[in-house]
Chain A
Amino acid sequence: MTLTADLVIATAVAYVGLLFLVAFIGDSQTRSKPGGLLRSPFVYTLSISVYCTSWTFYGAVGSAARNGLEFATIYLGPTLVFIGWWFILRRLVRISHDQRITSIADLLSSRFGKSSRLGVLVTVLAVIAIAPYIALQLKAVTSSIEAIAGASEYGRGSLEGWDEVGLAFGVAAGMALFTILFGTRNVDAKEQHHGVVAAIALEAVVKLTALIAVGLFVLYAGGGLEPIFSAAAASGHDIHASQTFGDRWIASLLLAAAAIICLPRQFQVTVVENSDESHLRTASWAFPAYMLAMSLFILPIALYGLSTLPSGSNPDMFVLTLPLAAGQDGLALFAFIGGFSSATSMIILESIALSIMVSNHIVVPVMLRLSADDGAGDGLGVRRLILNARRISIILILLLGFSYFYLTRGSDALAPIGLISFTGVAQFLPAILAALFWREASGKAAIAAIATGFVVWLWASFMPSFASSSPLVAMIMAEGPFGIDWLRPQALFGLDHLDPLAHAVFWSLLLNSAVLVIGSLLTSQSALEHVQATLFLNATRRTPTETSPLRGSATADDLFLVARRVLGHARAVALFSEEARQTGMPWTTLEPSPAFIHRLERELAGSIGSASAHVMLSKVVSGDAVSLEEVMQMADETQQAIEHSQALERASAQLRATAEKLENANRQLRKVDLQKDEFLSQVSHEVRTPMTAIRAFSEILLSEKDLDPVSSRRFMSTIHRESLRLTSLLDEILDLSALERGERMWEARVVDAEAALDQALRVCDALARQNGTRMARGERAGRAMVSADPDRLSQVLINLISNAIKYNTTPDPVVEVRSFVGEGVYSIEVVDNGPGIPEEERPRIFDKFYRGRQGEAVSFSGAGLGLPISREIVARMQGTLELVDGPGPGGACFRVRLPLAPAEAEPEIATS
């Protein structure tokens, strides 16, 4: 095969024809079979690989030849963004589906309060920033044609007389025509172009196959990896030698990661053309794998080219010139088609994406402003206007790209041109991240931040690229404007040790982010911004919030007029019929619900962008501007409802607590009631026994007239004794009850407790003698001043000591009384060597009327009130009375503990 320029051009034209056919079939396929192959995740992934342009196809080899491994950063950045798809891309896709976002300008404008100003700014800046990138494609295609024509023995053929500029112009014109035919046939409601995507996917396969074919050829020709690398090293091209991993490496990694999100065409294919969110899952690994495959052979091709082709050959064209030099014309043609594929796919998609932005954010708003009333022109006017606006913007965009190419034709490398564009679009990154993650970011700050970043970019990155063609620029670069040294574009503020790329990236993104952060903190959001910020941040929650700031007071007719103008008659009819069917109402009486208006707004947003759709609908709906006050009021009401419900919750919690307390109190009451019953029955029992005896003996005395005086006296004394017992019992009960109710008054004085103890011992001495009990004198405290009523204290001690004597049934009974002072407390212990109190009785020993088994057995026992009374008395003296473990194995030990009175305490303290 003989390769000529004419053959190459004819092949290119034929290839474009093939693409057109694929796009056409793709469009009609999607229309007839919505779920077909074209909507598979792999087609989606292949369309994302429009990222790999002729910069990759030709420029990466050139970049590898000049800077070694650095070329890889351009693919590593997007790889990292895609493997982290869950955190950024998924949100972007979700939000864009929910909000019908059509472009990156639309995204930012929508988030920052549907701001048209921001939309215009982003659109204009994107068009400027992309110009170098389009120029790169033109340059690559032109150079590739020139390379083949230059190598051909048949000369330039019909290219005779065309210089590089003319050729580039021809390519640009052809591309413009092609893109217009491809991308602006109709206005899709979702801005999805299935046919174009199909063609792009085909091109992705072609360029990958072509590059791999060249790579395999190089491996074959070079004899494998090792010979290629060592031959290159031998001829002085060793990637070990270059300082790769410095500031430039980091900067271009960051730029590439930003570009995969911010480039208008990448946003178009990844986000807008996404028909199913789950496709992103596949793309998250398949797209990095595609780029890995694209990059595998770059180094071998570059190094083989460097070591075999004559020095001075353009390394950007190695992919083409290596097969040509080896006489592989077929492979060279294939490589040319691969490069052509990468350039055309980029130009088509980029200009479609940019033209959508231009028409939605500049042309339509201007048109809306010019039209006096609620819509524009006649029936289909808007659609035609949009299409024409897009066609003109495509021509304009390619013209801009061509102008840049023309002005910078002196520079030769491809990759640096691409990086200029990357730095430009990266200025959208801070605002996008803020849109996704920062609720407080404000629109004014976003506008200021993007503008600041762009000014720095224009100065430090864009302008220096004209240095080779403009002496003025060259002078500014060397000396600064008007000789101001610290404003030199590549050494701003004296920072001159950074690589120019890293320098531009650093200053532009730093100032951009700083303005965004500080501006957001200083300015406040508008009401609509506030609403949108919430929608954006809540996008990945499970239940999407549906709010429409528009009220539903418009008539269906008005809405239909608007819808027909923008969407076309057929689509508008379909939309309204669907609504009529769902609500079950005839067309004529259709009352548009807020949900329907919201849906209509989203549909319109799909065609003319969210800001324009919002403005357009708010002109129609209820005839007034969007009632933001109403939105705010709604928000307030919601807030109030939330607060109200929280208050209710608190009240109910309190009620629950109160109910619980009541229940506890009730339980206590029932227990006390039970105790009272028990007490009454015990008192009755206690009273009944002596009463029975008294009654029986008095009856005998009354009935037996002839009773002998001895018996009669005995009976009388029994009656007397029983009545005494009864009286003492009743006294005790009254005493205890008064003590418990706190009614008993007594005098508390600072007294010597030891004196009270001596008094008690004296009283019990007789009882001890009577029972044959030995009173053992334990250690004594000597003198202990406590605050107490001395008689009451004696009463307690007498009770304890007499109990110890009475219940001690051992043959050799001993009761020991001892007292001591420690840590401000005076203690008395009464210890006996009796049988002790069994373990199971201990808890009840202080209960009223409880006498224990021992008490029952002893003949003369009390009513079982002595201990409860004693304990009550001690408690009133702030002390304790308890049963403790005695020193010996048997016996019981009661301990009284009383706090010592303060030394300077008043001698007389009256308490109740």
Chain B
Amino acid sequence: MTRRKLVAAAFFFTLFGVLGFLPPIIALFRFDARPFGVPVEAVYVFVLWGLLVLGARWFSRALPEDGTQAAQRPGEEP
């Protein structure tokens, strides 16, 4: 993937993460099911949360370095 595409992917990953926690999507999980006794909306929130963490971990490695360390703080002491 090109740099631009990666950045765009990171953006949409975040955006869909936001949508996932907002109604109406989250309200879809208000039906009566209890995997392991836990209400399904709680399971949904925590599973999505975990997936976001995993995705963020992938993006943290995949997103490009933009060579800022040298340019970032000129004139600063080491």
In the assembled complex, 22 residue pairs joining A and B whose CB atoms fall closer than 8 Å, in A order, are: A72-B45, A79-B49, A80-B52, A83-B55, A87-B10, A87-B14, A225-B37, A226-B37, A239-B39, A240-B30, A244-B41, A249-B23, A250-B23, A253-B22, A277-B69, A284-B60, A285-B59, A288-B52, A292-B50, A295-B49, A543-B71, A544-B72
Are A84 and B10 in contact, CB atoms less than 8 angstroms apart? yes
Residues of B within 8 A of A (CB): 7, 10-11, 13-14, 17-18, 21-23, 26-27, 30, 32, 34, 36-39, 41-42, 45-46, 49-50, 52-57, 59-61, 63, 65-69, 71-75, 77-78
Q: Are B37 and A98 within 8 A (Cβ)?
A: no
Q: CB distance B75 to A86 under 8 Å?
A: no
- A80 in contact with B18 given A94-B72, A244-B41, A542-B71 (CB within 8 Å): yes
Nearest neighbor of B11 in chain A, beta-carbon distance: A87
Asked whether, in the complex, the Cβ of B22 is within 8 Å of the Cβ of A250, the reply is yes
Q: Is B60 in contact with A282, judged by CB distance below 8 angstroms?
A: yes
Bound complex: CA A706 to CA B20 (Å): 125
Which residues from A are CB-within-8-Å of B61?
A: 281
Given known contacts A80-B17, A282-B60, is B7 in contact with A86 (CB within 8 Å)? Answer: yes
- Are the C-beta atoms of B37 and A228 separated by less than 8 Å? yes
Q: Give the shortest distance, in Å, between B76 (CB) and chain A (any CB).
A: 8
**Which residues of chain A come closer than 8 Å to B14, judged between CB atoms?**
80, 83-84, 87
Whether a CB of chain B sits under 8 angstroms from the CB of A791 is no
Note all chain B residues with C-beta closer than 8 A to A245: 23, 26-27, 30, 41
* Residues 295 to 326 of chain A near chain B (Cβ within 8 Å): 295-296, 299
Considering only residues 231-252 of chain A, those with a C-beta below 8 Å from chain B are 238-240, 244-246, 249-250
**Bound state CA distance, A598 and B73, in angstroms?**
12
Known pairs A229-B39, A253-B22; A94 contacts B68 (CB<8 A)? yes
B60's partner among A224, A227, A285, A598 (CB-CB below 8 A) is A285
Return chain B residues, CB-CB under 8 Å to A546: 74
CA distance in complex: A132, B78 (Å): 40
Q: Would A97 and B49 count as touching, CB distance under 8 A? A: no
Q: Say whether, besides A94-B68, A250-B22, A292-B50, A83 and B37 are in contact (CB < 8 Å).
A: no
Contact A98 B26 (CB under 8 A): no
Alpha-carbon distance A877/B68, docked complex (angstroms): 75
Chain A 561-605 interface residues, beta-carbon cutoff 8 Å to B: 574, 578, 595, 598-599, 602
Q: Nearest-CB distance from A570 to chain B (Å)? A: 13
- How would you classify the secondary structure of chain A's contact residues: helix, strand, loop or mixed? helix
> When A245-B26, A253-B22, A543-B71 are in contact, do A285 and B57 touch as well, CB less than 8 Å?
yes
Contacts of B11 in A (CB 8 A): 84, 86-87
Q: Which of A729-774 contact B (CB under 8 A)?
A: none
In the complex, which range does the number of interface residues on chain A fall in?
35 or more
Give B8 Cβ to nearest chain A Cβ, in Å.
11
Q: What is the count of residue pairs linking A and B with beta-carbon distances less than 8 angstroms? A: 130
Does A34 count as interface, using CB distance less than 8 angstroms? Answer: yes
Shortest beta-carbon contacts, A-B, top 5: A226-B37, A84-B14, A285-B56, A285-B57, A83-B56
Chain A interface residues toward B at CB < 8 A: 34, 69, 72-73, 76, 79-80, 82-84, 86-87, 94, 97-98, 224-230, 238-240, 244-246, 249-250, 253, 276-278, 281-282, 284-285, 288-289, 292, 295-296, 299, 540, 542-544, 546, 574, 578, 595, 598-599, 602
> For the complex, what is the distance from the CA of A429 to the CA of B53, rounded to whole Å?
24
With A83-B17, A83-B56, A229-B39 in contact, is A542–B67 under 8 Å at CB? yes
Q: B52 to chain A: which residues have CB within 8 Å? A: 79-80, 83, 288
CA distance A10 to B78 in the complex (A): 42
Q: Shortest Cβ distance from A582 into chain B, in angstroms?
A: 10
In Å, the complex CA distance between A82 and B53 comes to 10
CB-based nearest A residue for B18: A80
Q: Which residues of B contact A84 (CB under 8 A)?
A: 10-11, 14, 17
Residues of A within 8 A of B46 (CB): 292, 295-296
Given that A72-B45, A79-B49, A229-B39 are contacting pairs, would A240 and B56 also be in contact in the complex, using a CB cutoff of 8 Å? no
